[in-house]
């Protein structure tokens, strides 16, 4: 059986914001670059991003700057973030947004013609550069346009549009290949024909996004099966922060066929409020101690904030997502939910209909079409939905390099930047900042390489056999195994966790591993979704085990990890990262690793009183030494 082969300097797996920005950088640095994506080109997850990209440009409030953004990001992540990533992100995000504009992005404007910025949970000032509620679409459109512009340059110079940058769309990577300890390429299959393809390359950038399809209720689409996370693990890299999963507070709850689809935070940023079945604006009852001085305690003050931010505190509907999701969960559990098991999100009584249609066109359309609800006239029903994973490949902050030489990662598949909880809007900017850095890191790595690594035939045979195996079996049904995994993760390792339940989930995962070994797919290799799912299951199982094992070990509640049996944040745990790896390609080991202490000039950006809420006594005395 012939296997198609291609040679590149850098292979980027994923064509969302992170992948495209990485590929553009690698190509700009003269590297022959392949972009591989399992969905259609242009249909990455990034397209779905609604609210905007966070960047401290100070266009709407000139008090904003990178230091305020850095502080907000660290607070949002409950101080567990990789602080170097948070620093680079806050400093470089404005340049990345301006660069997008220079490449043709059409952002909404302020009255004086600057890029407009909107409010979002956890951001002290209006900070999200946006295009209505379709920012991700514009971001992808612009980056694709940039790819095409580079291809046109290449045509003029080399007579071939694809001389330096080629897109392999609807092509799924199932294995990373290595020469000794170094990356030497990637193995995959074409979705349509099922035939195999090998990309020889000394550097691979993973930009495959998240893992949401391991959960039943999710805002994520079909391609979020944790492939990049699993590919990295199987290649010998480490994953960190896997216990931290963001349940977005506002997913649709009705009708059942659309359960989980996102209702953007912009609804709350633009004035929408949350109410329970008694009509109470309940978020005032859920302001945690660490945020007490920053959020309004009365409806009057909260409402004044929308027009006068200098003299009022923010509405509690704009607390970080983990706080709002837990509050909604608690209201529903206490019997104060909406008829279909969510709570009410109302913008209809807060803004004129015309304004709602202008600011939130996609939401208006989404509810009208999918739920027959007119959001200009009635409230929406919403509830938490699995949205984003903070955990991912452990990378060097400056270059995106993973522990395996030649492997890089950027975007949602990487870990560290967002700590235990990501602020809304910080992903799109993360993709641009770290996509660029990973592309540059990969290019520099290739330049420094003395010789090109080779791909051994044995590895190719193994990858081929592994991919073909489900077609040669008639055992377990992949859809049933998938559903069992999703249900288990949703119910036992969901928004609120308990040791017994997580342990039970791990037992189920062990049994599912056995079943995955028997999963079969009827039919041929030609466009066969059952076969594709059978292959994705390996990844979802590996990633789910990481999430559950880390969740069981972390005996505290922080950000996207809430333990019913350990409800508080424990400063001792803030210093610890849980690092997942696999030695045999099947079972996961988790080890503790202590985070490096924050650089002095960064930690002194915070007030002592605030740090006291997060740091140990020992860390506080070190801080007192520095700040003297
Ligand atoms: P993606 O954009 O998901 O791209 C992943 C790519 O990898 C795809 O091309 C996919 O086909 C490919 N891929 C995956 N596996 C394989 C494989 N095995 N082989 C080949 N290719 C593969 N964030 C914000 O900052 N602001 C927002 O307003 C916002 N709104 C959001 C709204 C929704 C509904 C959702 C779901 C998320 C939102 N987010 C937002 C989060 C943000 O959109 C994502 O975190 C981000 O887009 C991820 O980008 P990425 O480049 O890492 O991956």
| Contact call for residues 113 and 63 (beta carbons, < 8 A) | no
DSSP code of 422? P
Look at residues 136, 496, 127 and name the one whose alpha carbon lies nearest to residue 314: 127
Does the pLDDT value for residue 327 go beyond 80?
A: yes
Sorted by where each starts, the structural domains of the chain and their CATH numbers stand as: 4-245+388-437 (3.50.50.60), 246-387 (3.90.700.10)
Q: What is the DSSP string of 149-176?
A: HHHHHHHHHHS-TTSSEEEEETEEEEEE
- The rounded Å distance from CA 431 to ligand 1 centre is 9
Using alpha carbons, list the distances in angstroms from residue 197 to 33, 174, 187. 16, 10, 6
For the four alpha carbons of 521, 525, 529 and 535, in that order, the dihedral sign comes to positive
What do you get for the CA distance between the two ends of the chain, in Å? Answer: 70
Give the total residue count for the chain. Answer: 628
Omega into 255 within 30° of 0, i.e. cis? yes
| Contact call for residues 485 and 531 (beta carbons, < 8 A) | no
Q: Name the closest-CA residue to atom 44, ligand 1.
A: 46
Ligand 1 atom index nearest CA of 430: 25
Burial class (CB in 10 A: 0-12, 13-18, 19+), 385: buried
Look at residues 628, 615, 618, 625 and name the one whose alpha carbon lies nearest to residue 83: 615
0.80 exceeded by the pTM? Answer: yes
pLDDT digits (tens, 9 = 90+) for 518-542: 999 999 999 999 999 999 999 999 9
CB atoms within 10 A of CB 450: 4
Best of 137, 427, 533, 534 to mutate for ligand 1, by most ligand atoms within 8 A of CB?
A: 427
Residue 498 to residue 38: CA distance in whole angstroms: 35
> Does ipTM come in above 0.90?
yes
Q: Name the closest-CA residue to atom 47, ligand 1.
A: 46
For the four alpha carbons of 243, 247, 253 and 255, in that order, the dihedral sign comes to negative
Does the pLDDT value for residue 1 go beyond 70?
A: no
Ligand 1 atom index nearest CA of 231: 18
pLDDT digits (tens, 9 = 90+) for 211-239: 999 999 999 998 899 999 999 999 999 99
Active site residue 248: yes
Residue 293 to residue 312: CA distance in whole angstroms: 11
What is the maximum span of the chain, computed from C-alpha positions, in angstroms? Answer: 71
Name every residue whose Cβ is closer than 8 Å to that of residue 113 and which is 6 or more positions away in sequence.
Answer: none
Using alpha carbons, list the distances in angstroms from residue 557 to 79, 122, 165, 573. 13, 18, 45, 10
- The rounded Å distance from CA 224 to ligand 1 centre is 8
Res. 320 pLDDT band, cuts 50 70 90: confident
Active site residue 268: yes
pLDDT digits (tens, 9 = 90+) for 259-283: 999 998 889 988 999 999 999 999 9
């Amino acid at each position: 059986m012939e296997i198609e082969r291609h040679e590149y300097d850098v292979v980027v797996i994923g064509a969302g914001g992170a992948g495209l920005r990485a590929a553009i950088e690698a190509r700009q640095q003269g590297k022959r670059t392949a972009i591989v994506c399992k969905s259609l080109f242009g249909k990455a997850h990034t397209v779905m991003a609604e609210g905007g990209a966070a960047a401290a440009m100070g266009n709407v409030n000139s008090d904003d700057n990178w230091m305020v953004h850095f502080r907000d990001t660290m607070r949002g992540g409950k101080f567990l973030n990789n602080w170097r990533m948070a620093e680079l992100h806050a400093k470089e995000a404005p340049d990345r947004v301006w660069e997008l504009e220079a490449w043709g992005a059409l952002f909404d404007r302020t009255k004086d013609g600057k890029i407009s910025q909107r409010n979002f949970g956890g951001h002290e000032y209006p900070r999200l550069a946006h295009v209505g509620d379709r920012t991700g679409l514009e971001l992808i459109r612009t980056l694709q346009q940039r790819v095409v512009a580079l291809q046109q340059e290449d045509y003029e110079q080399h007579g071939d549009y694809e001389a330096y940058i080629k897109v392999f769309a609807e092509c799924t990577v199932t294995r990373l290949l290595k020469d000794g300890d170094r990356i030497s390429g990637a193995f995959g299959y074409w979705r349509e024909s099922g035939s195999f393809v090998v990309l020889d390359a000394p550097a691979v950038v993973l930009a495959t996004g998240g893992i949401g399809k391991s959960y039943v209720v999710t805002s994520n689409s079909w391609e979020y099966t944790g492939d990049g996370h699993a590919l990295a693990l199987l290649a010998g890299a480490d994953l960190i922060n896997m216990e931290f999963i963001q349940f977005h507070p506002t997913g649709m709850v009705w009708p059942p066929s659309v359960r989980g689809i996102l209702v953007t935070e912009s609804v709350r940023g633009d004035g929408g409020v949350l109410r329970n079945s008694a009509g109470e604006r309940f978020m005032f009852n859920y302001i945690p101690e660490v945020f007490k001085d920053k959020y309004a305690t009365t409806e009057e003050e909260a409402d004044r904030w929308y027009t006068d931010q200098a003299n009022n505190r923010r509405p509690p509907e704009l607390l970080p997502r983990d706080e709002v999701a837990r509050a909604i969960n608690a209201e529903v559990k206490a019997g104060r939910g909406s008829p279909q098991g969510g709570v009410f999100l109302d913008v209809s009584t807060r803004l004129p209909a015309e304004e709602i249609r202008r600011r939130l066109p996609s939401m208006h359309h989404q509810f009208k079409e999918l739920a027959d609800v007119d959001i200009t006239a009635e409230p929406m029903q919403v509830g938490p939905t699995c949205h984003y994973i903070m955990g991912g490949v452990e990378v060097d902050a400056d270059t995106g390099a993973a522990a395996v030489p030649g492997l890089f990662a950027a975007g949602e598949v990487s870990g560290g930047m967002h700590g235990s909880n990501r602020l809304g809007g910080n992903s799109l900017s993360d993709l641009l900042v770290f996509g660029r850095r990973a592309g540059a890191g990969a290019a520099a790595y290739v330049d420094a390489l003395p010789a090109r690594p080779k791909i051994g035939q044995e590895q190719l045979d193994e990858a081929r056999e592994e991919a073909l195996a489900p077609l040669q079996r008639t055992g377990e049904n992949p859809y049933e195994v998938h559903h069992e995994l999703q249900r288990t993760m949703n119910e036992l390792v969901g928004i609120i966790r308990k040791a017994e339940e997580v342990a039970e989930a791990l037992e189920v995962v062990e049994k599912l591993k056995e079943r995955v070994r028997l999963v079969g797919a009827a039919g041929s290799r030609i466009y066969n979704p059952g076969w594709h799912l059978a292959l994705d299951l390996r990844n979802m199982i590996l990633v789910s085990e990481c999430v559950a094992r880390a969740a069981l070990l972390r005996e505290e509640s922080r950000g996207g990890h809430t333990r019913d049996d350990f409800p508080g944040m424990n400063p001792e745990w803030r210093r610890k990262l849980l690092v997942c790896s696999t030695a045999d390609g099947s079972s996961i080991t988790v080890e503790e690793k202590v985070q490096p202490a924050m650089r002095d000039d960064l930690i002194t950006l915070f007030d002592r009183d605030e740090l006291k809420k997060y740091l140990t006594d020992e860390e506080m005395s070190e801080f007192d030494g520095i700040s003297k």
